[in-house]
Structure 1
Amino acid sequence: MLKSKVAVQVISSGMLPDDAIMLGEAYLKQWKIPQGQPINLKFGALRQSIKVVPVERFDGMRIGQSLARRMGIFANTSLRIQYRSDTSTLALGPLIGVLISRDDPNMKERPFGSITMFCKELVDACAAQGAHVYFFTPDHITSSSNTVEGWVYSGGWRKTAVPAPDVVNNRLTSRKLENKPSVQHFIKEVKSRYNTAVYNEKFLDKPEVFDALVKDPALVKYLPESHVLRSFAMLRSMCSKYGNVFLKPVRGSLGKGIIRVSRSDNDSYQALYTTLGGTRRQHFPNLLKVFASISGKMKTVRYQIQQGLHLIDIGGKPVDFRALVQKNETGKWAITSIVARTAGGNHFVSNLARGGTLSTVREAVAKSNLSSISAGDTSSRLQRAAIEIAKGVDTFIPAHFGELGIDLAVDISGRVWLLEVNSKPSKNDNTPLPDQKIRPSVRNMIQYSRHLAGF
Structure 2
Amino acid sequence: MLLSHRLADELGLRAGTTRLRVGQSEACAQIELSKQDSRPQRLFLSSDLIDSLYVSPEDCLYMWWDKNYSSLRLGPVLGIMGSRRTNTGGVFGQTTEIIRDCVRLARRRGMLAYAFSPRDIDWVSKSVRGWVWTGAVPKRMRCPLPDIVYDRVASRRSETSTRMTTAKENLLQISNLQYYNRVFLNKWDVHKMLESYPELKKHLPPTQELVNSKILETYLKKYPVVFVKPTQGSLGAGILRVARSSKGFAYRLTRLDHPDYRGRASTVAGMVRVAERLLRQDQYIVQRGLSLAHLNGGPFDIRVLLQKSTRNHWTVQSMVARVAQPGNVISNLADGGQIINPRRAIAAVFGPSIKPSLMTLRIRRIAKAAALAIEKEIEYEFAEVGIDLAVDINAKIWIIEANSRPGRQTNEAGQRRVSMSVVRLVRFLRSRGLQ
- Shared topology, TM-score over 0.5? yes
| Mapped contact 2:302–2:319 kept (Cα < 8 A) | yes
Q: Which residue pairs with 1:453 in the alignment?
A: 433
Kindly state the Cα deviation for residue 30 of structure 1 after the two structures are TM-superposed: 2.0
1:41 to 5, 20, 37: 20
When residues 86 and 291 of structure 1 are mapped into structure 2, their CA distance, relative to the original with a 3 A threshold, is: closer
Kindly state the Cα deviation for residue 283 of structure 1 after the two structures are TM-superposed: 2.7
When residues 87 and 286 of structure 1 are mapped into structure 2, their CA distance, relative to the original with a 3 A threshold, is: closer
Q: Which residue pairs with 1:10 in the alignment?
A: none
Give the letter for the 2:115 counterpart: F
Kindly state the Cα deviation for residue 408 of structure 1 after the two structures are TM-superposed: 0.8
Give the letter for the 1:127 counterpart: R
Q: Which residue pairs with 1:62 in the alignment?
A: 44
| Mapped contact 1:141–1:183 kept (Cα < 8 A) | no
TM-score by length of 2: 0.89
Q: Which residue pairs with 2:29 in the alignment?
A: 50
SS of the aligned residue for 1:396 comes to: helix
Give the letter for the 1:282 counterpart: G
Q: For residues 260 and 438 of structure 1, what CA distance do their matches in structure 2 show?
A: 32
| Mapped contact 2:27–2:53 kept (Cα < 8 A) | no
Q: Which residue pairs with 1:302 in the alignment?
A: 283
Kindly state the Cα deviation for residue 72 of structure 1 after the two structures are TM-superposed: 4.2
1:141 correspondence with 2:159:
no
Q: For residues 85 and 50 of structure 2, what CA distance do their matches in structure 1 show?
A: 24
Q: Which residue pairs with 1:17 in the alignment?
A: none
Q: For residues 115 and 430 of structure 1, what CA distance do their matches in structure 2 show?
A: 16
308-317 or 334-343, larger mean C-alpha shift: 308-317
When residues 441 and 64 of structure 1 are mapped into structure 2, their CA distance, relative to the original with a 3 A threshold, is: farther
1:124 correspondence with 2:124:
no
1:30 correspondence with 2:7:
no
Kindly state the Cα deviation for residue 430 of structure 1 after the two structures are TM-superposed: 9.7
Q: For residues 29 and 359 of structure 1, what CA distance do their matches in structure 2 show?
A: 54
Q: Which residue pairs with 1:13 in the alignment?
A: none
Kindly state the Cα deviation for residue 44 of structure 1 after the two structures are TM-superposed: 0.5
Kindly state the Cα deviation for residue 325 of structure 1 after the two structures are TM-superposed: 1.1
Q: Which residue pairs with 1:257 in the alignment?
A: 238
RMSD of equivalent CA atoms: 2.8
Q: Which residue pairs with 1:4 in the alignment?
A: none
Give the letter for the 2:142 counterpart: A
| Mapped contact 1:322–1:407 kept (Cα < 8 A) | yes
207-216 or 365-374, larger mean C-alpha shift: 365-374
TM-score by length of 1: 0.86
Q: For residues 183 and 451 of structure 1, what CA distance do their matches in structure 2 show?
A: 27
Kindly state the Cα deviation for residue 138 of structure 1 after the two structures are TM-superposed: 1.9
Q: For residues 200 and 325 of structure 1, what CA distance do their matches in structure 2 show?
A: 13
1:158 correspondence with 2:139:
yes
2:77 to 89, 95, 100: 95
Give the letter for the 1:230 counterpart: V
| Mapped contact 2:297–2:325 kept (Cα < 8 A) | no
| Mapped contact 2:147–2:178 kept (Cα < 8 A) | yes
Q: For residues 243 and 307 of structure 1, what CA distance do their matches in structure 2 show?
A: 8
Q: For residues 151 and 271 of structure 2, what CA distance do their matches in structure 1 show?
A: 39
Residues 224-239 of structure 1 mapped to structure 2, 5 A cutoff: 224-239=205-220
SS of the aligned residue for 1:149 comes to: strand
Q: For residues 263 and 182 of structure 1, what CA distance do their matches in structure 2 show?
A: 45
SS of the aligned residue for 2:405 comes to: coil
Residues 173-212 of structure 1 mapped to structure 2, 5 A cutoff: 173-212=154-193
Kindly state the Cα deviation for residue 168 of structure 1 after the two structures are TM-superposed: 0.6
Give the letter for the 1:244 counterpart: V
Q: 1:40-86: per-residue Cα shift (whole Å, max 9, x none)?
A: 11110011111333342423222344433444444523211211356
Q: For residues 323 and 399 of structure 2, what CA distance do their matches in structure 1 show?
A: 16
Give the letter for the 2:239 counterpart: I
Give the letter for the 1:223 counterpart: L
When residues 344 and 206 of structure 1 are mapped into structure 2, their CA distance, relative to the original with a 3 A threshold, is: same
SS of the aligned residue for 2:61 comes to: strand
SS of the aligned residue for 1:306 comes to: strand
When residues 253 and 186 of structure 1 are mapped into structure 2, their CA distance, relative to the original with a 3 A threshold, is: closer
1:396 correspondence with 2:380:
no
1:364 to 329, 345, 364: 345
Q: 1:134-188: per-residue Cα shift (whole Å, max 9, x none)?
A: 1111212334372222222345522233211000111112333323444334333
Q: 1:72-109: per-residue Cα shift (whole Å, max 9, x none)?
A: 444523211211356431111110011110055x99x9
Q: Which residue pairs with 1:16 in the alignment?
A: none
Q: Which residue pairs with 2:402 in the alignment?
A: 421
Q: Which residue pairs with 2:424 in the alignment?
A: 444
SS of the aligned residue for 1:219 comes to: helix
Give the letter for the 2:133 counterpart: Y
When residues 103 and 65 of structure 1 are mapped into structure 2, their CA distance, relative to the original with a 3 A threshold, is: farther
1:341 correspondence with 2:329:
no
Report how many residues are paired.
429
Q: For residues 408 and 454 of structure 1, what CA distance do their matches in structure 2 show?
A: 35
1:311 to 279, 282, 292: 292
Q: Which residue pairs with 1:220 in the alignment?
A: 201
| Mapped contact 2:184–2:404 kept (Cα < 8 A) | yes
Q: For residues 24 and 263 of structure 2, what CA distance do their matches in structure 1 show?
A: 58
Kindly state the Cα deviation for residue 422 of structure 1 after the two structures are TM-superposed: 1.2
Q: Which residue pairs with 1:3 in the alignment?
A: none
Which consecutive unaligned segments of at least 5 residues does structure 1 have?
A: 1-19
Q: For residues 209 and 315 of structure 1, what CA distance do their matches in structure 2 show?
A: 31
Which consecutive unaligned segments of at least 5 residues does structure 2 have?
A: none
1:382 to 363, 367, 385: 363
Q: Which residue pairs with 2:65 in the alignment?
A: 83
When residues 409 and 191 of structure 1 are mapped into structure 2, their CA distance, relative to the original with a 3 A threshold, is: same
Q: 1:114-147: per-residue Cα shift (whole Å, max 9, x none)?
A: 4333233223311332111111112123343722
Kindly state the Cα deviation for residue 302 of structure 1 after the two structures are TM-superposed: 2.8
When residues 429 and 140 of structure 1 are mapped into structure 2, their CA distance, relative to the original with a 3 A threshold, is: farther
SS of the aligned residue for 1:218 comes to: helix
